[in-house]
Structure 1
């Protein structure tokens, strides 16, 4: 007997973020959420800080795009959910991450504009709780402007008091590990609910 679930494509969750340093705590936390999403049935793509650094400044007046820019826009177009991670710089997201987010403007004339209807996990690392809080708020505002749905769980890492990874790069802070699992579950639950709603609409249209 054919498994009816076998024909259902796995949802695609895209991670964007990090710092200019490969393997930063921000990047590792984004990857941790993506790994949890994979455990729940997703396939994932990651655009870490060093790849974002190689992207030119977003210029809406210049249609030319680098290979990295084209790859990110293509991933955004086929994704059903996102995880965005940024360091907190001076009360907001870093220029590196904001430049990547601005590139999503290339989807403005797509059938699905920007991140419309998609769940978006948020991750911030900063030197202090005030910096993590205001940056999470700024990131949520950006997600709202892109028509996305920020997950209720936002992950904040205070680098002044938390050392979440061991020497091997494993996440050992149980509080943050729990938050990554919860955020992934919220992303995947939203994706599943959206898919069920669209399936129901399609059935109703054929009835």
Structure 2
């Protein structure tokens, strides 16, 4: 690939997030950031709650991988940026999301180790402000440990105080929509197509 074709490549932004409940607020917010990135010219791929729930527990001593695990790792390997969303369960990242993130250890021997060189937007949904802030901070630490670049803007939504979606699942909270669009802009600004 020459320099000109590399500069024309659409960045790939991969989203990971959700719960075992289809259409959860967390899953919808990750999808909203991906949709905003797509409007800015990105290709996107979402690994939603159902996809994450189908992944077996990460076991580093068992290198065999299921098709779902291979698909996730390969998508992240190709990604120029990511969005990771988690509900806050007791002030921490959900096991479902943490299991998927742990699987990214399979990228440790890649030329771009782990999430090196990738911007990562973070989204947290909680039933309170404190839980959301603590979980967002913990998720930022995890992304730093994986050599990723958390976007300056992390989104934390308090489902008890905010109602981001209408009955049809449309994002209607103007403040959250502004944050979603801002995070997509940051992802696109930092996304670098892989060589």
**Normalising to structure 1: TM-score of the pair?**
0.89
1:153 alignment partner, SS class: coil
Task: Give the whole-Å Cα distance in 2 for the aligned partners of 1:183 and 1:8.
Answer: 22
Give per-residue Cα distances to partners, 1:159-192, cap 9 Å, x unaligned.
111111111111000000000000000010112x
1:80-119 equivalences under 5 Å are 80-119=80-119
Task: Give the whole-Å Cα distance in 2 for the aligned partners of 1:71 and 1:6.
Answer: 23
Looking at both structures, which has the greater relative contact order when contacts are Cα pairs under 8 Å and sequence separation is at least 6? Answer: 2
Equivalent position of 2:177 in the other structure: 177
1:143-158 equivalences under 5 Å are 143-158=143-158
More helix by share: 1
Equivalent position of 1:55 in the other structure: 55
Equivalent position of 1:161 in the other structure: 161
1:181 alignment partner, SS class: helix
Task: Give the whole-Å Cα distance in 2 for the aligned partners of 1:6 and 1:118.
Answer: 16
**Aligned pair in 2 of structure 1 residues 92, 39: CA closer, same or farther (>3 Å)?**
same
Task: Give the whole-Å Cα distance in 2 for the aligned partners of 1:177 and 1:95.
Answer: 27
Q: How many residues align?
A: 192
Does residue 30 (structure 1) correspond to residue 9 (structure 2)? The answer is no
Deviation (angstroms), 1:50:
1.2
2:189 alignment partner, SS class: helix
Equivalent position of 1:72 in the other structure: 72
Does residue 10 (structure 1) correspond to residue 10 (structure 2)? The answer is yes
Deviation (angstroms), 1:33:
0.3
1:122 alignment partner, SS class: strand
Task: Give the whole-Å Cα distance in 2 for the aligned partners of 1:133 and 1:106.
Answer: 29
**Normalising to structure 2: TM-score of the pair?**
0.95
1:125-136 equivalences under 5 Å are 125-136=125-136
Q: Which runs of 5+ in 1 are unaligned?
A: 200-207
Does residue 141 (structure 1) correspond to residue 141 (structure 2)? The answer is yes
Equivalent position of 2:41 in the other structure: 41
1:44 alignment partner, SS class: strand
